[in-house]
Structure 1
Amino acid sequence: MPADRFSTATRLKALGEQAAARVYRAKRRPRRNRLTGRAALLALVMCSLVVALAYPMRQYISQRSDIADQRRKAQNAAAALNRLRDEKARWQDPAYVRQQARRHLHFVMPDETGYIVQDGSGARAAPKGAEAADRPWYDKLWNAVDDADATDPIDAAVGR
Structure 2
Amino acid sequence: MAVKDRDRFSTATRIRLLGEQTAARVYRSQTKRQARRSRLTSRAALLALVMCSLIVALAYPIRAYVSQRAEIADLEREKAQARQRVEQLRDLKARWQDDAYAEQQIRQRLHYVMPGETGYIVIDPAAAKQARADLVAADRPWYANVWDGIDTSDASDR
Decide: shared fold, TM above 0.5.
Answer: yes
Query: Judging changes above 3 Å, is the alpha-carbon distance between structure 1 residues 44 and 107 closer, same or farther for their aligned structure 2 residues?
Result: same
Q: Does 1:124 align with 2:136?
A: no
State the shift of 1:36 in Å.
2.5
Q: Match for 1:102: what amino acid?
A: R
**What's the RMSD between the two structures over aligned residues?**
3.2
Q: For the residues of structure 2 that align with 1:57 and 1:83, how far apart are their CA atoms?
A: 39
Q: For the residues of structure 1 that align with 2:70 and 2:52, how far apart are their CA atoms?
A: 27
Structure 2 segments unaligned to the other structure (5+ residues) = 1-21, 140-158
Q: Does 1:72 align with 2:77?
A: yes
Question: Residue 116 of structure 2: which of 111, 116, 138 is its match?
Answer: 111
Aligned to 2:48: 43
Aligned to 1:6: none
Aligned to 1:88: 93
Aligned to 1:60: 65
State the shift of 1:101 in Å.
1.2
Q: Match for 1:64: what amino acid?
A: R
Q: For the residues of structure 2 that align with 1:41 and 1:92, how far apart are their CA atoms?
A: 76
* TM-score (normalizing by structure 1): 0.56
If each structure's helix is expressed as a fraction of its own residues, which one has the higher value?
Answer: 2
State the shift of 1:117 in Å.
4.3
Structure 1 stretches of 4+ moved >6 Å: none
State the shift of 1:60 in Å.
0.4
